[in-house]
Homo-oligomer: A and B are copies of this chain.
Amino acid sequence: MVRAMFVTPPAGVPMSMLTRIEAALEHHFTLTNTHSAPPRLMAAMRHAVFPGGARIRPQLCLAVAKACGEDDAALTDAAAIAIELMHCASLVHDDMPCFDDADIRRGQVTVHKQFGEPLALLTGDALIVMAYQVLARSGRQHPARLVELLGTISDGVGAPDGIVAGQAWECETRVELSQYQRAKTGALFVAATMAGAQSAGVDPSPWRALGDTLGEAYQVADDIRDVMLQDHQLGKPAGQDATHGRPSAAADLGLKGALDYFNQLMANAVDAVPACESRAAMRHLVMKESERLVPPSACELIAQQANAAPQRVSA
Contacts of A143 in B (CB 8 A): 143-144, 146-147
In the bound complex, CA of A139 to CA of B121 (Å) = 30
Pair A125/B37 contact, Cβ less than 8 Å: no
List residues of A (139-172) whose CB comes within 8 Å of B's CBs: 139-140, 143-144, 146-147, 150-151, 154-155, 157-162, 164-165, 167-172
Cβ of A39 within 8 Å of any chain B Cβ, yes or no, is yes
Cβ of A137 within 8 Å of any chain B Cβ, yes or no, is yes
Pair B154/A132 contact, Cβ less than 8 Å: yes
In the bound complex, CA of A169 to CA of B122 (Å) = 11
List residues of A (160-219) whose CB comes within 8 Å of B's CBs: 160-162, 164-165, 167-173, 176, 179
In the bound complex, CA of A170 to CA of B122 (Å) = 11
Task: Annotate A32-44 by CB proximity to B: 1 below 8 A, 0 otherwise.
Answer: 1110111111100
Contacts of A140 in B (CB 8 A): 144, 147
Pair B139/A170 contact, Cβ less than 8 Å: no
Whole-angstrom distance between the Cβ of A121 and the nearest chain B Cβ: 6
Whole-angstrom distance between the Cβ of A174 and the nearest chain B Cβ: 9
Whole-angstrom distance between the Cβ of A272 and the nearest chain B Cβ: 22
Taking the full assembly, how many copies of this chain does it contain? 2
Pair A164/B93 contact, Cβ less than 8 Å: no
Which of these, B150, B161, B170, contacts A118 with CB under 8 Å?
Answer: B170
Q: A119-B171, A121-B121, A147-B136 are in contact. Are A37 and B160 (CB under 8 A)?
A: yes
List residues of A (110-142) whose CB comes within 8 Å of B's CBs: 115-119, 121-122, 124-126, 128-130, 132-133, 135-137, 139-140
Whole-angstrom distance between the Cβ of A37 and the nearest chain B Cβ: 3
In the bound complex, CA of A126 to CA of B158 (Å) = 5
Q: Which of A89, A125, A164, A170 has most B Cβ within 10 Å?
A: A125
Whole-angstrom distance between the Cβ of A40 and the nearest chain B Cβ: 6
Cβ of A45 within 8 Å of any chain B Cβ, yes or no, is yes
Pair A151/B171 contact, Cβ less than 8 Å: no
Pair B162/A129 contact, Cβ less than 8 Å: yes
Contacts of A162 in B (CB 8 A): 129
